[in-house]
A and B are shown apart, each in its own frame.
Chain A
Amino acid sequence: MIKKRPGGELASRPLHFFWVADCSGSMSGDKIQQLNTAIRETIPYMQKVAEENPYASLLIRSIKFSDGAQWHISQPTPVADFKWLDLSAGGMTDMGKAMSLLAEQLQIPPMTDRALPPVLVLISDGQPTDEFNEGLNALMALPWGKKSVRIAIAIGKDADCDTLQQFIGHSEMQPLKANNPEQLINYIRWVSTAVIKSVSSPPSQPETNSQSVVNVPLPPLPVPDPTSAGDVW
């Protein structure tokens, strides 16, 4: 009789993806509407990328922050079942509280050490109105906080790029500046597809103590469309 394969239950490695969206008053109107549209429309592309790599299980969640921060989609949702619920805007910019919420979920447990590096996408058009550093420090004190892939999208000219750079935590990448709907859609599409593709099969990296090195080699940024509208935000 042929013996069965040695070992316990097999599983692909979990890849946790977090949208962290600014829903303060300044996002109201066109910005929040375009963000909702961009994320919703990119879901089929995310699903396609996930299907192409069955060795990673893409699980999506979402945090919104304005007056405080809340889970918008709290359960790690398999991309195949993921549906975007429209955000609405109003209130302050409590970005630090959003960092604290992330930190709670990036601890081990509930995370496992066999997970792929989590992807955190922070989208904001303004400056934090709470203790941002407190939340960020809590996040970066965690092994998965340090090793997460952190991407920031700055919407419009008033976005606080210094704060977003602090969130990214190294100089090899800058906040992505979306000054019109086309740029926002391009960047949302890029993080939802090309970045996920890179993170779902990350090669080993020789260990380094430097904070300035990207944990996972990121794909080239999307080239701006010369025919797209100029700055509108």
Chain B
Amino acid sequence: MVSLSLFWEVIGKSVRGASHCRSGMTNQDDINYYPGQGASDTVMIAVSDGHGSPRCFRSDRGADFAVKAAVGSLRDFICDQDPCQSLSDIRQTAKDRLSREITMRWQHSVESHYKIYPFSESEYQILKDHSHFYAYGATVISVCVTPWFILYIQLGDGDILTVSAKGEVERPLPVDTRLFANETTSLCATHAWADFRFWVQTDLVNLPDMILLSTDGYANSFQDDSGFLKVARDIWEILRSDGKDYVQKHLEEWLNETSEGGSGDDITVGLVFPSR
């Protein structure tokens, strides 16, 4: 297997939506990444958007469980891979195993939480005939960069964008037509594992110079898609001109300004880029 000795860094931020600040609702998004700081040849990141509806009354916890399940599953997955294995085998194993593993870990976390904090009578009434998983409903988007491949994973709405070394912005995963209006695939669905979408990039020559993951509150804040794609290009340029610390310092104010002037929704963004 061909490998590349490149080190990567990860930063990210999650902000409470402007409309949620008005209504008193907590941030329903979450983010988790590895390593927490510094550079590594293997990094992984996950963002999640809890649904936030009255029936998904624990979706902030669901989002927390989702990002931890994704990063934990990816770490174990990478450790288990035999470097002599072919990339097509890895791709197949990822598709076969990871979606089930992430779903299973998320469900396990929900079960444990639900046992300790069972629903009140009124919460059961709100939930109607849905399972207790529904109350924790959340999406998950994750990326794992290794010396051999980059793995992109998505369940539900939100975006993954890549920026090439020339500054070209692309979506590595095609648009999912099921995600229309406010409907989304979700970890709380009965066969959630079957709804995951994957892409494994094995082309180590044309590696992205930055990967951006975001919850849908970000894209929904722009007048059109080109305005959102410009986010990735602009952050990439700022990273190159002013460095990681500058982006990290200003990310929160950028996201708050975007939510206030746009969708009003929670916004979470994760960035992966080569260490310079």
Contact = CB atoms under 8 A, between A and B. Distances in A.
A182 to B, nearest CB: 30
Contact of A3 (B23, B54, B242): B242
Contacts of A216: 182
A5 B254 contact: yes
4 residue pairs, one from A and one from B, having the closest CB atoms: A8-B227, A55-B264, A203-B53, A6-B234
Interface residues of A, number: 33
Contacts of B227: 7-10
Contacts of B219: 114
A7 B228 contact: yes
Contact of A6 (B137, B179, B231): B231
B262 A10 contact: yes
18 contacts: A7-B222, A8-B230, A9-B222, A11-B221, A53-B19, A55-B19, A55-B262, A55-B263, A117-B181, A147-B181, A203-B53, A204-B53, A204-B56, A205-B183, A206-B184, A207-B185, A215-B183, A217-B53
Contact of B18 (A6, A55, A206): A55
A53 B262 CA distance: 11
Contact of A207 (B52, B186, B257, B263): B186
Interface of B: 18-19, 23, 49, 51-56, 134, 137, 139, 156-157, 178-186, 188-189, 195, 216, 219-224, 226-228, 230-231, 234-235, 238, 242, 246, 250, 254, 257-258, 261-265
B137 A206 contact: yes
Contacts of A9: 222-223, 227
A143 interface: yes
A209 B51 CA distance: 18
A12 B262 contact: yes
Interface in A104-132: 112-114, 116-117
Contacts of B230: 6-8
Given A7-B234, A217-B54, 14 more contacts: A5-B257, A6-B254, A7-B258, A8-B222, A8-B230, A12-B262, A13-B263, A147-B182, A204-B56, A204-B216, A205-B184, A207-B186, A215-B181, A215-B183
A147 to B, nearest CB: 4
A1 B181 CA distance: 39
A116 B227 CA distance: 18
Nearest to A11: B223
Contacts of B180: 113, 143, 147
A229 B257 CA distance: 51
Contacts of A217: 53-55
Contacts of B263: 12-13, 55
Contacts of A205: 51, 53, 182-184
A197 to B, nearest CB: 11
A113 B223 CA distance: 11
A3 B238 contact: yes
A201 to B, nearest CB: 5
Nearest to A108: B180
A38 B230 CA distance: 45
A110 to B, nearest CB: 13
Contact of B228 (A8, A12, A113, A116): A8
Of the candidates B183, B219, B257, the one having the most CB atoms from chain A within 10 angstroms of its own CB is B183
A182 B104 CA distance: 54
Contacts of A202: 182
Given A7-B258, A10-B262, A55-B19, A206 B134 contact: yes
A44 interface: no
A113 B56 CA distance: 24
B240 to A, nearest CB: 12
Contacts of B258: 5, 7, 10
Which residue among A12, A54, A55 has the maximum number of chain B CB atoms within 10 Å of its CB? A55
A2 interface: yes
A204 B49 contact: yes
B264 A201 contact: yes
Contacts of B156: 204
Contacts of B250: 2-3
A13 B262 CA distance: 7
A10 B195 CA distance: 31
Contacts of A201: 19, 23, 264
A55 to B, nearest CB: 3
Nearest to A113: B180
Contacts of B254: 5-6
Interface string A80-92: 0000000000000
Interface in A8-23: 8-13
Given A3-B242, A203-B53, A204-B51, A10 B223 contact: yes
